[in-house]
Structure 1
């Protein structure tokens, strides 16, 4: 199997210029390049550029997957969004790294050695950007859960005595994009359940409520509003929208309550112990769910078999006709139908009754060696 790598970049805060798109085209002659992003995949070789450099210069989001069980997500945020002290405790291992340029934070989540070979064999990388890009807005609003998930993904490389970062609220109630991130970097679900134990629910963000919007707008000066309207009048609507969204995200971040300083920080050893308990609960729940599904499947199967046995003579006539074709497909269909009949007799009558009916059938088809061989292999006839 050949190598496969998928690269997708998104420009969110501002569109790429024509000059920038020309620069990208010099790197890739067949990549899909637009003012809003870049997409390409490679089956031999890879991108002839440094994705980190592209993030610093052009883009706000980057998704990468490779079929050797590796993937990566990068998001770029304005430097003013967070202080270094807000971020430092989350970047303790290789799964989450945080770097700064002159104007931005570059936050990287990565998975380098997954053992989920089937996942990386089947997926082509497309679709992840749409699921993960909303994390950027959440981070702009001050939601630190994506960073905590990155710390959890690094847990396998950390010592037992290391304390967790300040746990954010809402770990038991992740957003859809946060659930996608946990799936993308393969956060241990039991460790996540352990981390979520005792985590308060996230405060609802009623950012679209008329009163909330009105409260936000009161913070705008006449000059600031005029500047945004001027951009719209000049045909720079996207830049105006970017400024509005950034300002709104900043306001929401300021409204978000900080985690209580009294919330206990647990060591990894404590989280791992809680994860073992969570694993037991999860396995018990999954076993119960399987039992319910199996019981329902048996109920449906038994109902189907009783319906079949209500017209058993016609079923035998159908099998007789299938066997009489003398073809491989006819024999295969006959064996399938006889398998159902055997189960039907076991449910409503007896196996001896089925054997007697089989003898009557085979009197007429005793010379069909291929049919007899198939029946023997299926365990329906012993001769």
Structure 2
């Protein structure tokens, strides 16, 4: 297997300046570089730079994967997006090289979801198919979800650590977010990207509350908007007009969530489970998955059998046409023709047997032998099939 590595970076909040693009160009003459991206593939050699350093200086997102199975997703978020205490529940104790970790600059968090398979022992088919170069497009919406306060991507990172054997049975899960049973498309892509065990995910998600319906949120939004001062609304509109729509949404959503929490009754947080507790649920989840897979296989096999019976019934109705086609095919006198005729004969034999017309098949075969019994290569095929004796 030849070596293959794929690097893609994206600048979202602010485009790269001409100087920054020139700096990146000095690192690679082959890369595709624009004001919003850097893309390069390597069949030998490697990136002349540290992706984490590039994230600090230039970019908001990075996707990397190699054909031996290693992969990495980096996302840069403003520090105001996540409180330290919230993030700590998902990543501590963890260092870079973990399946999920975080680092900080003065202004940003850089979140790192990784699966480093240096021995190439994992399944890397997801990096070889025709969809492989769409990973950035599939994963990038995670950043917007995090900016909107959705912590499911963080929990999936914790699950990736669990699947990677980083956590012992006594480790306690982070706060369980709502909606784990109905992941977004980007979150499902992250599950595939990191190869998170579906049984661990099902076990963890079983206790996750459903997301509130949009029609349940609308009255609260209206009430909050009614309580805003003209100065607050003016500030939000100014951010929009200045092209800082993401910042405007982020700040407005944070204020709305704070207002909403202040009006809700204090409810005891659900008990956070130990890994050992979730492991028990995982066994049950695995059994349910295996049963679903068995039922799916049985249903597929039943469908195929029904289609086969229908096909054979139609073939039996057209037996005269099939006999004529076999006769014409044999007249060509080539090996390929004999193989095709034998294939048609096998299907017709099965069709007529299903219809209870075995005697009709034997009579038709005798007629064929009268016309083509001197074709040695054809007769050898019939002997091998058990239809005639030596």
1:228 lines up with 2:232 in the alignment: no
How many residues matched? 376
Segment of structure 1 superposing worse, 54-63 or 214-223: 214-223
Distance 1:152 1:283, change over 3 A: same
Residue of structure 1 equivalent to 2:211: 202
Change (3 A) 1:115 1:363: farther
1:105, distance to aligned residue in structure 2 (A)? 0.5
Matched, 1:193 2:202: yes
Q: 1:282 to 1:379 in 2, by over 3 A?
A: farther
The alpha-carbon distance between structure 1 residues 225 and 292, as it changes in their structure 2 partners (threshold 3 A), is closer
Equivalence for 2:110: 106
Matching residue of 2:275: 268
List per-residue Cα deviations over 1:214-265 (Å, max 9, x = no partner).
945936536625743763xxxxx4xx33433433453465467699643121
2:99 to 95, 99, 115: 95
Q: How does 1:131-210 map to 2 (within 5 A)?
A: 131-155=138-162, 156-205=165-214
Secondary structure of the corresponding residue to residue 73 of structure 1: strand
Q: Does 1:15 align with 2:15?
A: yes
1:157 and 1:311 map into 2 onto residues whose CA distance is 64
- Is the 2:103–2:111 contact (alpha carbons within 8 Å) kept by the matching residues of 1? yes
Partners of 2:260 and 2:30 lie apart in 1 by 44
Please name the residue that 2:245 is paired with.
241
Q: Which residue of 2 aligns with 1:371?
A: 378
Change (3 A) 1:152 1:382: farther
Indicate the structure whose relative CO is greater, using CA pairs within 8 Å and at least 6 residues apart: 1
**8 Å contact 1:206–1:212 — kept in the other structure?**
no
Aligned-partner Cα distance in 2 for 1:30–1:195:
44
Deviations 1:141-165 (A, max 9, x none): 1111111111111112321121111
Please state whether the residue corresponding to 2:372 is helix, strand or coil.
Answer: coil
Instruction: Find the aligned partners of 1:134 and 1:181 in 2 and give their Cα distance.
Output: 11
Tell me, what secondary structure is at the counterpart of 1:326?
coil
Alignment of 1:65-104 (within 5 A): 65-91=65-91, 92=93, 94-104=98-108
Partner SS, residue 40 of structure 1: strand
The separation in 2 between residues aligned to 1:63 and 1:349, in whole angstroms, is 61
Query: 1:53, CA displacement in angstroms?
Result: 0.6
Compared CA separation, residues 168 and 226, structure 1 to 2 (3 A): closer
Counterparts in 2 of 1:202 and 1:209: CA distance versus 1, 3 Å = closer
Write out per-residue CA displacement over residues 269-294 of structure 1, whole angstroms, 9 at most, x where no aligned residue.
22111111111111111111221222
Paired with 2:388 and 2:248, the residues of 1 have a C-alpha distance of 76
TM-score, with normalisation over the residues of structure 2? 0.87
Say if 2:224 and 2:256, in contact at 8 Å, map to a contact too.
Answer: no
**Partners of 2:361 and 2:67 in 1: how far apart?**
51
- The verdict on how the C-alpha distance between 1:260 and 1:108 changes in structure 2, with shifts beyond 3 A counting, is farther
Cα deviation code 1:291-329 (max 9, x no counterpart): 122212211211111111112111111011111111233
- Structure 1 residues 226 and 143: alpha-carbon distance in aligned structure 2, compared to 1, 3 A threshold: closer
Q: CA deviation at 1:332?
A: 2.9
- The residue number in structure 2 matching 1:26 is 26
Provide the rounded CA distance (Å) in 2 between the counterparts of 1:379 and 1:49: 68
* In structure 2, distance between residues paired with 1:253 and 1:372: 82
Moved more, 296-305 or 253-262: 253-262
Cα separation, 1, equivalents of 2:47 and 2:3: 13
**Are the counterparts in 1 of residues 236 and 248 from structure 2 also a CA contact under 8 Å?**
no
CA gap 1:11/1:229 in 2 versus in 1, 3 angstroms = closer
CA positional deviation for 1:44: 1.1
Following superposition, the deviation at residue 135 of structure 1 comes to 0.6
Give the conservation status (yes or no) of the 8 Å contact 1:55–1:76: yes
Give the whole-Å Cα distance in 2 for the aligned partners of 1:183 and 1:222.
Answer: 41
**CA distance in structure 2 between the partners assigned to 1:380 and 1:179 by the alignment:** 54
Corresponding residue SS for 2:294: helix
Q: Structure 2 CA distance, aligned partners of 1:210 and 1:17?
A: 43
Where 1:62 maps in the other structure, the secondary structure is: strand
| Residue in structure 2 matched with residue 234 of structure 1 by the alignment | none
Gaps of 5+ in 1: 232-236
In structure 1, the partner of 2:353 is: 346
Alpha-carbon RMSD:
2.8
Q: Is the 8 A contact 1:140 1:249 kept in 2?
A: no
